[in-house]
Homo-oligomer: A and B are copies of this chain.
Amino acid sequence: MSGGLDKGTEKQILDAAYKVIIQKGKQGARMQEIADVAGVNKALLHYYFRSKDKLYEAVLQNALTEIFKHVTSNVDFSLPFKDLLASFIRNHIHAIREGGDILKFFLSEVWTNKDELVPKLREFLQTADGSLPKLFQARVKKAVKDREIRNVEPFHLLMNVISLDVFFHIVGPLFFMMMNVPKLYQKKLESDRTDQVIEFVWEAVRYRER
């Protein structure tokens, strides 16, 4: 019913679908639950998005956009490498935290649903700005030549930075549980994380006279 504070039924449904599907994955999500969360009738989902597949596609599109919005956040490649690294990591970790559960969702779906998801991802990347990795690679090579850092393979470095950021975000909570880390100490470890990573990476790569 068109109550006063209506934000458009279609968007309402899409938002609800987003929430539910991100949590439970494609298989786990139920049309009924999406309808409930949206506060509308189940039949309306089919009215606006013909099928679950279509709805899922729409959600995927949103999620991808959301992620890349953060990732592409501007990095100043003219900074000294140390500062570049720090700002890159800060941006990146910040983006990960902003992104909420999307990353977990992707890691989840990529595995169980890769036949559908990987082509979609590929397609999306065609249109997206793919220059970041290239710029990063070039900058690393320059830094090596200028003796800002030791000779490291750009791919591995990028991989390392992303690993350190993303993996902690995803598995950290589980890890805390497994190791019985007290709540208070968890907080400390979490807030220290960014600086720890920056220091770790920088120490790992910085150039040293021999």
Q: What is A's interface to B at a CB cutoff of 8 Å?
A: 23-25, 27-28, 101, 104-105, 107-113, 118, 121-122, 125, 133, 150, 152-153, 155-156, 159-160, 162-164, 166-168, 170-172, 174-175, 177-179, 181, 189, 192-193, 196-197, 200-201, 203-205, 208
A107-B111 contact given A196-B153, A204-B201, CB 8 Å threshold: yes
For the complex formed, measure the closest distance between the CB of A105 and the CB atoms of chain B, giving whole angstroms.
7
* Copy count, this protein chain: 2
A177-B122 contact given A155-B189, A159-B168, CB 8 Å threshold: yes
CB<8 Å pairs between A and B, sample of 5? A28-B112, A118-B174, A121-B178, A163-B168, A203-B204
Task: Indicate if the CB atoms of A175 and B196 lie closer than 8 Å.
Answer: no
Q: Which residues of B contact A172 (CB under 8 A)?
A: 159
Interface of A is mostly: helix
Q: Which residues of B contact A174 (CB under 8 A)?
A: 110, 118, 121
Task: Indicate if the CB atoms of A164 and B160 lie closer than 8 Å.
Answer: yes
Task: Indicate if the CB atoms of B170 and A107 lie closer than 8 Å.
Answer: yes
Q: Which residues of B contact A153 (CB under 8 A)?
A: 189, 192, 196
For A134, the closest partner residue in chain B by CB is: B179
